[in-house]
Amino acid sequence: MSGAILAATDLSRRFGKIVALDGLSLSMGAGELFGLVGPDGAGKTTALRLLAGQLRPDAGSVRVMARDPVREGDAVRAELGYVPQQFSLYGDLSVQENLDFFGAMFGLNGAEVEARSEELLALTRLKPFRSRRADALSGGMYKKLSVACSLLHRPRVLLLDEPTNGVDPISRRELWQLLQRFAAQGMAVLLSTPYMDEAARCHRVGLLHRGRLVRCGPPGELRHSVGHGCYWLEDLPRQIAEEVLAQTAVLTRVPQGKRYRLLVRRDGEEALAQRVSQAGGRLTPTQPGFEDLFLLFTSEGGDGA
């Protein structure tokens, strides 16, 4: 694809007998926010490490600004920021000292580091904490500092591995606002997440399952491609609800408080509605969400078709 800032073609990688990633292809343009969503062990981290040039693929290729991260590592690193799950800040250095250190590592001179770190401290709202040791930062602040350190050299591509894992909702909102701002400035931002509600916040989403990209597209489009009815089931005691729901047309059911969330095959909707009303319950249609989509794809033998 022309104009792609980041492109992967048929990317595969195995570890021993385990195929961690199986033929991943994707391409991203400037200003795009892309979410790689999938369960534990789906291959998200492997994909990110391959894209960042931290790992060699067994097959396929990666291009960052048309360059190969394996053969042209230095050139690619200049264009790329990578925030792994455990970003190693120096715990006994202060916020500012960490920025200075990473700036020097990226080959920036003193004046450049100073100007850029001022900018990033303001953006991440870490200015009041610049002399605090990294060890003493909250989870959310630590993550923001990791992101800042990865952006000192003004990369065109930012890769983040589960950046919001274990981060509280306030810091999470702040992180997302940062990512959105980076994308608006033209950066290509790719992140992985196990949280389905975050998928809805990306321009495009790739659903990774067992090393394969099973779906890829704008979030709204993906949710509506489910092709099954999504419902709330209410007002039925649990035992009766379980009986009513015990039929093959009910593809997923998730108890939530006193109600159930359901995905129902279209050809079974009418029969289910009858059974529910006979039992005295209530069935209310709702919009399918990413969690529904995810459960459908990852259910036993489910291919979502």
Partner 1 sequence: MGPEAVIEVAGLTRRFGSFTAVQQVSFSVRAGEIFGFLGANGAGKSTTIRILCGLLAPSEGHACVAGIDVARDPEAVKRSIGYMSQKFSLYLDLTAEENLEFFGGAYGLGRRALRQRGRELLARVGLRERSAEITGRLPGGMRQRLALAAAMLHRPRILFLDEPTSGVDPRARQSFWALIREAAREGVTVFVTTHAMDEAEFCDRIGLMADGRLRALDTPDGLKRSFLPGEMFHLELSPDRSIDALASQPGVLRIESAGAAYRLRVEAGRFDPEKLRALLGPAAVRVERVEPDLEDVFLEVVTQARGEAVP
Residues engaged in binding partner 1 (CB under 8 A): 31-33, 38-42, 138-140, 162, 165-173, 176-177, 179-180, 183-184, 194-198, 200-203, 218-220, 254-257, 286-287, 291, 294-295, 298
Q: Tell me whether residue 9 or residue 180 sits nearer to partner 1 (CB atom).
A: 180
Cross-sheet strand order for the sheet of 204-209: 80-83, 157-161, 188-193, 33-37, 204-209, 212-217
Interstrand relation of 204-209 and 59-64 (parallel, antiparallel or unpaired): unpaired
To partner 1, the closest distance from the beta carbon of 168 in angstroms equals: 4
To partner 1, the closest distance from the beta carbon of 77 in angstroms equals: 26
Q: Tell me whether residue 77 or residue 143 sits nearer to partner 1 (CB atom).
A: 143
Give yes or no for a contact between 99 and 152, defined as CB atoms under 8 angstroms apart.
Answer: yes
- Token pair belonging to 274: 């009858």
Torsion of CA 161, 164, 167, 171, to 10 degrees: 130
Q: How many residues does the chain have?
A: 305
To partner 1, the closest distance from the beta carbon of 107 in angstroms equals: 32
To partner 1, the closest distance from the beta carbon of 242 in angstroms equals: 12
Give yes or no for a contact between 148 and 154, defined as CB atoms under 8 angstroms apart.
Answer: no
Q: Tell me whether residue 105 or residue 184 sits nearer to partner 1 (CB atom).
A: 184
Q: What are phi and psi of 79, to 5 degrees?
A: -105, -5
Q: Tell me whether residue 203 or residue 275 sits nearer to partner 1 (CB atom).
A: 203
To partner 1, the closest distance from the beta carbon of 200 in angstroms equals: 6
To partner 1, the closest distance from the beta carbon of 75 in angstroms equals: 28
Q: Tell me whether residue 57 or residue 81 sits nearer to partner 1 (CB atom).
A: 81
- Token pair belonging to 214: 């099973």
To partner 1, the closest distance from the beta carbon of 169 in angstroms equals: 5
Give yes or no for a contact between 265 and 251, defined as CB atoms under 8 angstroms apart.
Answer: yes
CA distance 145 to 123: 11
Q: Tell me whether residue 71 or residue 238 sits nearer to partner 1 (CB atom).
A: 238
Q: Tell me whether residue 149 or residue 202 sits nearer to partner 1 (CB atom).
A: 202
